[in-house]
Amino acid sequence: MGNLETFKDRISSRDAKVCIYGLGYVGLPLALRFSECGFNVLGIDVNEERVALMNSGKSGIDHLPDERVAKARANGFEASTDFGRTGEGAALIICVPTPLNRYREPDLSYVVNTAERIAPHLRAGQLVSLESTTYPGTTEEVVQDALATSGLVAGEDYFLVYSPEREDPGNAKFPTHKIPKICGGLTSGCLEAGMALYGAAIEHVVPVSSPRAAEMTKLLENIHRVVNIGLVNEMKVIASRMGIDIHEVIDAAATKPFGFTAYYPGPGIGGHCIPIDPFYLTWKAREFGVHTRFIELAGEINTNMPRWVTDRVIDALNSAGKAMSTSKILILGVAYKKNIDDLRESPALELMHLLRAGGADIAYSDPYVPEVANGLDLESVEISEEGLKSYDLVLLVTNHDAFDYDLIREHAQLIVDTRGVFREASDHIVKA
């Protein structure tokens, strides 16, 4: 493919615009990284508000400082809703959502929509990279098909790769460029083009033999997490029955220098990835007559966690001679994990519904989430000494660093801790 050397030259000389489709938790940090590496970056998103926000130099994502967006803006980064500008890009990177539909089947409509809108403007010599998490075969079956309407042939006229995003939102230790990036190309030329693109912005790029292998790698990583979280949640339930502190056990096990990786139990799983991605494989595996039993089992255990925690809340209140139906409960933290503002699939939402269904008068505090709609219609309350004393029970769901745990320990009447924050035994602290 004669275009390969030209493409690589354009990347190394930075004479290449990078178009990123979907400026969310994944697309925006990637756009900023390419901009910081000297590329001209155009972000394309269907959400006009997000586009306007970014063009005004704001990120709209709590852990991504506005200054980074403003600096990128000053260096030429621009956001737009106009897919017609696709022709400007040398590389086109797709970072749009891949949720499940109401039947818990893969919903590739965002990916298909993006590819279909790119197709009329696709030019020979461009590289298309899919980053959205999905089942093996999506790049070669779905994206390639949608782009075929351009009349161009993948691997001959344009480069096609899959390179999964491994972003860990809010993790300061691993910014985008420090996380090794997997890349699988449709042909060896596609792979080489993909390696050149990502190698210009990411410290370590790991080639694999095909887009399918890259798609499966991402799923293995997330399934590994979900299964191990399911396992440790089950261990927590057993330990709790036996009067053993699971966090003490995990800390002790983690001293083994090989063969053990610590996973931590919690109130359930959340976020856009871990509760969803594994079921992409479940769906695709059916086509091959295979059942994904570990995924289903982990899903069952993890999904049951909010109910299990609710039962511990009821038990704790009962021990204090109180009923849930007449209790005031403060939920601490509603984001799906600590130090971020993401509510998607957060177990806190189900917990709040369960507590309210049980008659409790609930309130919540989360420095990252000012309000919660989702049929709950609540606004975050400030934590104070007086405030804490006024609740019958405080339920710690998300262990944000910003919480004053000493204040909480000292003034809450009763605490149910789902994160193992309060390690020392105490009459008024229940671990769940």
Ligand X SMILES: NC(=O)c1ccc[n+]([C@@H]2O[C@H](COP(=O)([O-])OP(=O)(O)OC[C@H]3O[C@@H](n4cnc5c(N)ncnc54)[C@H](O)[C@@H]3O)[C@@H](O)[C@H]2O)c1
Residues making contact with ligand X (CB under 6 A): 21-27, 44-47, 50, 95-98, 110, 113-114, 132-133, 165, 167, 169, 272-273
Residue 358 phi/psi, 5° resolution?
-80, 5
Residue 50 or residue 121: which is nearer to ligand X going by CB?
50
Residue whose C-alpha is closest to residue 334's, from 387, 300, 303, 378: 378
Residue 80 or residue 413: which is nearer to ligand X going by CB?
80
C-alpha pair distances (Å), 138 with each of 98, 102, 131, 216, 312: 11, 20, 11, 11, 42
Beta bridge partner(s), residue 61: none
| Closest residue to ligand X using C-beta atoms | 24
Residue in the block written with tokens 């409960």: 329
Residue 165 phi/psi, 5° resolution?
-80, 140
Measured in whole angstroms, the distance separating CA 142 from the mean position of its chain's CA atoms is 23
Contact 73, 53 (CB under 8 A): no
Which residues are CB-contacts of 154 (< 8 A; sequence separation ≥ 6)? 128, 144, 147, 148, 160, 186, 190
Q: Burial-class residue 107 by CB neighbours within 10 Å (0-12, 13-18, 19+).
A: middle
Find the helix or strand (DSSP H, E) in which 190 lies.
Answer: helix 188-199
Tokens of 187: 């042909």
Residue 48 or residue 371: which is nearer to ligand X going by CB?
48
Residue 46 or residue 249: which is nearer to ligand X going by CB?
46
Residue 98 or residue 365: which is nearer to ligand X going by CB?
98
| Residue 273 among the catalytic residues | yes
Tokens of 211: 């887009």
Strand bridging mode 378-379 / 371-372: antiparallel
Residue 22 or residue 230: which is nearer to ligand X going by CB?
22
Region of 101 on the Ramachandran plot (φ > 0 left; ψ -120 to 50 alpha; else beta): beta
CB of 27 to ligand X, least distance (A): 6
Radius of gyration (C-alpha) of the chain in whole angstroms: 24
Catalytic residue numbers read 273
